[in-house]
Amino acid sequence: MNTLRVGLAGCGEMGSNLARKCHSLDDASVVAVYDPVEESAVKLGGELGAKACSSYTDMLGEVDAVIIAAPNDLHAPMTIEAAHSGKHIFCEKPMALSVADCDAMIDSAEKAGVKLMVGQVLRLLPAFWKTAGIISSGELGAPFGISVTRLASVDGIVKGWRKTRKHTGGIIYEVHVHELDFMRHVMGEAKSVYAGIGHFTPSQVEYEDVAFIQIHYANGGIGTLHCGVSSSFARHTMMIQCEKGTLTNGGFSGSICYSHFGEDPTTIQISDIQKEDGYHEEIRSWVESIVKDAPMVFTARDGRAAIELAQAAYISA
C-alpha cells in the first residue's frame, strides 16, 4: 500500500493531537479533516495541509482510513458509516454508549474487512505501561486485588459537550472507561460488577459526579474504583496486591513503588520511565495494522469489554 490517506472527524483538542501524531508517521498522511465548527476544521487543515471538508460523508470520499474523535454518542454511527464505505477506523474512547452499539460496530468492520481500533491509551502511558509490565512478569505473583482512585474537579477534566449526558453517556463512559480497561488488563475478565453513583456537588454537569464501583474477577480477585469530578483535590492513585507483594502507582506523576513481603521497596520515578509517547504509539500501531497487517496494541474487543463494565456499573447503580 502507498501512504495511507487518513481523515479526521472531530478537530477538538484530542482529535487534533491524534491527527498530528498520525501525520508525523512515514506510512500515513492526514489529507482531510471535518468538524461541524468549520473554523476548527479550516485551522487544523491549514496546519496539516489537509482539505477541510463540509461533511463527514464527503470526507470519507477522500481517504482510506479515518480517526473518529467526535462526541461519544456519534462514535457508533460514524464508525458504521465508515465501515460501510470500506474505510479503516480508529475510534477514540469510549467505543460507544452501549454494548449493542459496540457489537454493531465490530460486525460492520468485520463484514467490510476493515481494521477497527479503540483508543484505550491509558495502558500506554508510562506509569501504567510499567505497572502492567511488572505485574505480568510474575515478579510479585498473581494479582488478587486492585484499588484505583481517580478524582478531579469538574473544571479540571470536562468542558463543553463533555458536561452533557446526551453526548457523553455519563462520567464513567466519558473518563473512567480508561481505569476499567486498565483494571481488566491487569486482573483479567470480570464476573460481576456493583456500583453506587450520585451527584452531590454544585458542579455543572448533567450526570453523576462520583462513582464507587466494585468488580469481582474470574480469577477470584476483587477491584474497586472510586472516581468522578467531585473533588477539590486532583488524585490518581492505584494499589495492586499480589501473592508475593504489593505495588503502588502515583498515576500521571510521582512514582511506582513495589516490594515483596519483608523486603525493602523498589521505587521508580515516573519521570524516569523511557518509552514512546502513548498517543503516538497507539496511532502508529493502528496504521501498521493496516499497512503491514501487524497486531494492534489493543483491539475493538478491548474497547467493547470496557463498555460492558461501564454499562454494568450503570445498571447496578
- Same structural domain for residues 92 and 149? no
136 Cβ neighbours under 8 A, 6+ residues apart: none
Convert the pLDDT of each residue in 101-132 to its tens digit: 999 999 999 999 999 999 999 999 999 999 99
Note whether 59 and 153 are same-domain residues: no
Q: Do 142 and 259 sit in the same domain of this protein?
A: yes
Query: How many domains does the structure of the chain reveal?
Result: 2
Do 271 and 285 fall into the same domain? no
CA distance 90 to 46: 22
SS3 state of residue 51: strand
Within a domain: 304: no
Q: Please write the tens of the pLDDT for every residue from 11-29.
A: 999 999 999 999 999 999 9
Nine cell digits for residue 48? 496539516
- Domain containing 107: what range? 4-119+278-299
Q: Which helix (H) or strand (E) holds 98?
A: none
Q: What is the percent of the chain with per-residue pLDDT over 70, rounded to a whole number?
A: 99
pLDDT value at residue 2: 81
Strand pairing partners for 267?
A: 257
Does residue 257 have a pLDDT over 90? Answer: yes
Q: Which amino acid is at 203?
A: S
Structural domain includes residue 309: no
Same domain, 164 and 268: yes
CATH of the domain at 217: 3.30.360.10
Sign of CA dihedral 41, 46, 50, 52: positive
The answer on 292 and 199 residing in a single domain is: no
pLDDT in tens, 80-93: 999 999 999 999 99
Q: Is 243 inside any structural domain?
A: yes
The answer to whether position 163 is within a domain reads: yes
Q: Where does a domain end: 275, 290, 311?
A: 275
Regarding whether 32 and 65 lie in a shared domain, the answer is: yes
Q: Are residues 86 and 142 in the same domain?
A: no
Do residues 6 and 63 touch, judged by C-beta distance below 8 A?
yes
Q: Which residue's C-alpha cell is 465508515?
A: 82
Domain assignment present for residue 305? The answer is no
Does residue 196 share a domain with residue 56?
Answer: no
pLDDT at residue 175 above 90?
A: yes
Residue 140 has pLDDT above 80, yes or no: yes
Q: Are 308 and 137 in contact (CB under 8 A)?
A: no
All cell numbers assigned to 177: 472507561
Same domain for 161 and 190: yes
Contact status, residue 114 vs residue 66, Cβ threshold 8 Å? no
The verdict on residue 316 lying in a domain is no
Q: Report the percentage of the chain scoring pLDDT > 90.
A: 91
306 domain-assigned: no
52 and 158 fall within a common domain: no
106, 179: one domain: no
The verdict on whether omega for the bond into residue 77 sits within 30 degrees of 0, i.e. cis, is: no
- Alpha-carbon span 150 to 305, nearest angstrom: 20
Q: If pLDDT is split at 50, 70 and 90, which confidence band does 229 have?
A: very high
Residue 311 lies in a domain: no
Handedness of CA 48, 51, 57, 62 (dihedral sign): negative
Query: Mean per-residue pLDDT for 212-230?
Result: 97
pLDDT at 99: 99
